[in-house]
Amino acid sequence: MPNQDIVKWPDDVAGRYRAQGLWRGGNLGDAILARAADRPDAVAVHDPETSLTYGDLVATADATAANLAAADLRAGDRVLVQVANTWRFVPLLLACLRRGIVPVMCLTGHRDRELTHLAELTRARAILVTAVVRGTDHLALARRVVERSRLERAIDVDTLVPCVRSEGSPPADMSAGAVPGGEDPALFLLSGGTGGLPKAICRTHDDYEYNARTAAAVCEFSASSVYLAVLPLGHNFPLACPGILGVLGTGGTVVVSPSPRPEVCFPLIRRHRVTATALVPTIAQRWLDRVRQDPASRADLDSLRLLQVGGSRLADSVASRIGPELGCALQQVFGMAEGLINMTRLDDPYDVVVGTQGRPMSGHDEIRILDEDGRTVDDGSPGLLVTRGPYTPRGYVNAATYNRQAFTADGWFRTGDVVRQRPDGNLVVEGRDKDIINRGGEKISAEDVEEIAYRCTGVLHAAAVALPDDSLGERVGLAVVARPGQTVTMDDIHAEMRAAGAARTKYPDQLHVVDAFPLTGVGKIDKKTLRLQLAPAHEERT
């Protein structure tokens, strides 16, 4: 039986979401095809090299679908997708959605270790890559992974996705054959959560369509919206919050930026009259710095109305600079690939936009804030956020054991985030109770860093912790206790990281060799105290 590794919503809950009209039973690509039928000549996608009308997008997706079929990829197959931020991502996604081929959204930073793991975890058949990204030969990497895993082939997306012009003719028919939809898997997102290597989250056509549509409504997207996709395109934020799917679903235009640097993004914003974009705080800070250094560059941002910022905690002091210095409205977004998206609203008062991470985007989201014994905390007190809802799946893919920890018996997802709720309903993220490092918005599992560190012969004990970093928010700190008579250096650790084929972001930024670790009452490493010992000058936040 295919898809046995996926946890579905209980039948009664799914029935309710359908009856309420939240889940519509269609294909996630339907809205894009409908917009293409209405206005085939409107521009759907720009990147620095190419522009596609809606007609071109559909024609290109059609040709891509034919190439996928020629590569023997069929409905229900899963494929790892590791592509750069270029226009090709968009028709590739549409082709996969229409054909029921399920893309697993890998990051370009992933290397042998992560990709091999994801291939096995998701039982993928192929890996689709941009051949070279920032000097790394991804085709060679993909071929290596094919040799060492169940993957059957590596495919270069430059040949898979040809640019096809529709030349004014009605878009080719992407509806031919059996089109999947409803509760069928649409795509797999990755969680950077706890517990070692990444986990996969299955998002269905129904739930993800609801996600994109709801986010687009909250952000008031329309056919005149122009969205700049800056963050890696396979991440939930630029993909569907509202992102690419939200803006194309409303007939607007997506502009794909190959880089988050202001030198690249500002001219794109000016050229295409971009109205909205989404950034992590680190990048927002870089854009602010750019405007401070070169005040004339602010004119590039004239058309920008909305700047969404999320992925890690935005300091209030930075939040308050965005409106006055960049000349656009700020929206804070506290979201997760597992589902729940919180947003401040466009008409919220200043103190909400600057001082909170917003509230659930849907009235159908359920949230609770619990103490360590699972009881609801007093109003306004910080606690652990749990959630359920029409776009928050009930389990990770192929992770039955882990799911028992990550979800309560009645289906609430334990986010691991510590929040408090203000009387106006908005959430403030106070910290977290999960063993990750949030490095500039990229989540790194401490456990995975430790596992590799333990392979170093000189390491007796290892603990990875988040240390404060002025530009990234957090960086990867590694504390080790050396074996008697042995030394451990950063070079030793990095050599182990390389040998393990780990993503570069996991390499510790800072190494501390200590005599012993502080322990909790039950004898576990006390990471809270350890962090304070390693970074005593900084105030503890998480």
Angstrom distance (rounded) from CA 85 to CA 229: 8
Q: Name beta bridge partners: 332.
A: 309
- Please report whether residue 383 would count as binding ligand J2J according to CB under 6 A: no
- Please report whether residue 336 would count as binding ligand J2J according to CB under 6 A: yes
| Token pair belonging to 486 | 């042995």
The residue among 96 and 336 lying less far from ligand J2J, judged by its C-beta, is: 336
Q: Name beta bridge partners: 306.
A: 276, 329
Residues 48-107 that bind ligand J2J (CB under 6 A): none
Q: Candidates 54, 266, 334, 517: give the one binding ligand J2J (CB under 6 A).
A: 334
Own/partner pairs, 261-268, CB within 8 angstroms, 24+ separation? 261/286, 262/286, 262/287, 262/290, 262/291, 262/297, 263/290, 264/48, 265/228, 265/230, 266/290, 266/297, 266/300, 266/301, 267/300, 268/46, 268/48, 268/228
- Please report whether residue 241 would count as binding ligand J2J according to CB under 6 A: yes
Angstrom distance (rounded) from CA 226 to CA 43: 10
CA-closest candidate to residue 106, choices 128, 125, 132: 128
> How many residues at the interface with ligand J2J, by CB under 6 A?
22
The span of 114-122, 298-306, 326-334, 516-524 binding ligand J2J (CB under 6 A) equals 326-334
CA-closest candidate to residue 42, choices 34, 316, 412: 34
Q: Candidates 130, 332, 387, 426: give the one binding ligand J2J (CB under 6 A).
A: 332
- Please report whether residue 312 would count as binding ligand J2J according to CB under 6 A: yes
- Please report whether residue 219 would count as binding ligand J2J according to CB under 6 A: no
Angle, nearest 10°, between helix axes 281-293 and 262-272?
A: 80
Angstrom distance (rounded) from CA 281 to CA 348: 20
Torsion angle, CA of 99/105/110/114, rounded to 10 degrees?
Answer: -80
- Please report whether residue 203 would count as binding ligand J2J according to CB under 6 A: no
- Please report whether residue 476 would count as binding ligand J2J according to CB under 6 A: no
The residue among 125 and 432 lying less far from ligand J2J, judged by its C-beta, is: 432
Helix (H, G, I), strand (E, B) or coil at 510: strand
The residue among 449 and 511 lying less far from ligand J2J, judged by its C-beta, is: 449
The residue among 181 and 441 lying less far from ligand J2J, judged by its C-beta, is: 441
The span of 88-96, 118-126, 335-343, 400-408 binding ligand J2J (CB under 6 A) equals 335-343
Helix (H, G, I), strand (E, B) or coil at 82: strand
Lay out the site mask for ligand J2J across 417-456 (x = CB under 6 A, - = otherwise).
Answer: x-----------x--x----------x-------------
CB of 490 to ligand J2J, least distance (A): 27
Measured from each CB, the residue nearest to ligand J2J is 335
CA-closest candidate to residue 479, choices 414, 422, 535: 535
CB of 70 to ligand J2J, least distance (A): 34
The residue among 64 and 82 lying less far from ligand J2J, judged by its C-beta, is: 82
The footprint of ligand J2J (CB under 6 A) covers: 191-192, 236-237, 241, 310-313, 332-337, 341, 357, 415, 417, 429, 432, 443
